[in-house]
Amino acid sequence: MTKTMLSTVAALAVTATSAMSEEVRVYNWSDYIDESLLQQFEEETGIDLIYDVFDSNEVLETKMLAGSSGYDVVVPSGTFLQRQISAGAFQKLDKSQLPNLDNMWDVISDRVGKYDPGNEYAINYMWGTTGIGVNIDKVKEVLGEDAPVDSLALVFDPANMEKLQSCGVHFLDAPVELIPAALNYIGEDPDAQDAETIEKAEPVLSAVAPYVQKFHSSEYINALANGDICVAVGWSGDILQARDRAAEADNGVNIEYYAPKEGALMWFDNMAIPVDAPNPEGAHKFLNFIMDAQNMAAASNYVYYANGNKASQEFLVEDVIGDTAIYPDAETLENLYTTSPYDARTQRTVTRMWTKVKSGT
């Protein structure tokens, strides 16, 4: 009995001391930072950093709308950011606490302004495109030397997909990215908001869905790198990470990333502070730390995503800044499109269509 009492007291004491030291809780995408930066932040500021990850905007949004998430910094993508701002989920940034804002790249800040007018609530962390990751040898083995690897036809033409099925195809489990891509493939406006146009994507997706092994938003990194699958519709940097993991493992798997020539979705992941963040001051410190040119460059060099930080560019390695799959040239940049958030009714149409595509019902 005394023993239990003692250990309870000890546990309470531990809780009390840890409550006294300052902590910042960050909720970011999986595989999205150089983890040595996290240690560096703790060393520089003396703040305990608690770092959790997610792999879908929907999961983050549910936490935000439920309230009291306990996080101080979260990283929603553009359309989700916009919707969560209008739901009142975020607090305005106190720019006086963010001297490193001067490092930001106006080109990207302007584009993010579509979702967050005046950049009042969020700073851009990374941005990228949604495209196709290809295990080049396997795909050529299946489809021949002239396989259309740089075209949406690779994944939306049932004839190609039927053959690719044998080596494995993954799609992102993200209707808000795949439906615009399908609309773009058939020449419709990828940012269409009316149910009638959106529904035109269904036959395109349903025709190829039976050949998709899995709709998932993070497993494809390892699956591509291990050679379990040969094609993935995924996010640029994730596919480049798969390329690197395969190269490190030296397992004979060669991965390439293509932004489809028909056009690709350009998205922005942005850091924002929830309205009920327990430690907004610490959150600002974290944001400022991330916006430091060298830190941001270290993150990009590690995850192969472009960032919205102009000053960081001089610290980027050539593999990153010189790769048009990461920092697209002017021509490709013109070919990229962005999307807007769906309202609740359209969202239901979109999700229902996605379920129908995935399960056949």
Partner 1 sequence: MRRFVLIAVPYLWLLALFLVPFAIVFKISLSDIALAIPPYTPTLKDGLGALLAGLDFENFVFLTQDDLYWKAYVSSLQIAFISTLVTLLVGYPMAYAMARAPEEWRATLMMLVILPFWTSFLIRVYAWVGILSTEGFLNQLLLWLGVINEPLTILNTNWAVYIGIVYTYLPFMILPIYAAIERLDESLIEAAEDLGCSRLQAFWLVTIPLSRNGIVAGCFLVFIPALGEFVIPSLLGGSGTLMIGKVLFEEFFSNRDWPVASAVAVILLLILIIPIILFQRNEQRQQEAEQ
Tokens of 238: 């994730």
Asked whether 102 and 308 are in contact (CB, 8 A), the reply is no
Residues 252-291 as x/- pattern, contact with partner 1 by CB under 8 A: -----------------------x----------------
Kindly tell me which of 4 and 86 has the beta carbon lying closer to partner 1: 86
Helix, strand, or coil (residue 77) = strand
Asked whether 295 and 123 are in contact (CB, 8 A), the reply is no
Question: Residue 193: CA atoms inside 13 Å, Cβ hemisphere, count?
Answer: 9
Q: Is 342 exposed, middle or buried (0-12, 13-18, 19+ CB in 10 A)?
A: buried
Least distance from C-beta 350 to partner 1, angstroms? 8
Least distance from C-beta 222 to partner 1, angstroms? 10
**126 DSSP β-pair partners:** 269, 307
Least distance from C-beta 171 to partner 1, angstroms? 9
Kindly tell me which of 33 and 209 has the beta carbon lying closer to partner 1: 209
Q: Is 344 in the site for partner 1 (CB under 8 A)?
A: yes
Q: Which of 92, 95, 261, 348 binds partner 1 (CB under 8 A)?
A: 348
Q: Could you say which residues in the range 45-64 bind partner 1, by CB under 8 A?
A: 56, 58-59, 61-62, 64
Q: Is 212 in the site for partner 1 (CB under 8 A)?
A: yes
Residues 172-211 as x/- pattern, contact with partner 1 by CB under 8 A: ---x---------------------------------x--
- Of the listed pieces 200-208, 262-270, 320-328, 348-356, which binds partner 1 according to CB under 8 A? 348-356
340-to-77, 129, 179, 266, 344 alpha-carbon distances in Å: 11, 15, 13, 12, 13
Q: Is 249 in the site for partner 1 (CB under 8 A)?
A: no
Q: Which residues contact 266 (CB under 8 A, 6 or more apart)?
A: 111, 127, 128, 129, 336, 337, 338
Beta pairing, strands 214-215 & 122-135: unpaired
Summarize as ranges the residues that interact with partner 1 (CB under 8 A). Answer: 56, 58-59, 61-62, 64-67, 83, 86-89, 168, 175, 209, 212-215, 226-228, 275, 344, 347-348, 351-352, 354-356, 358-361
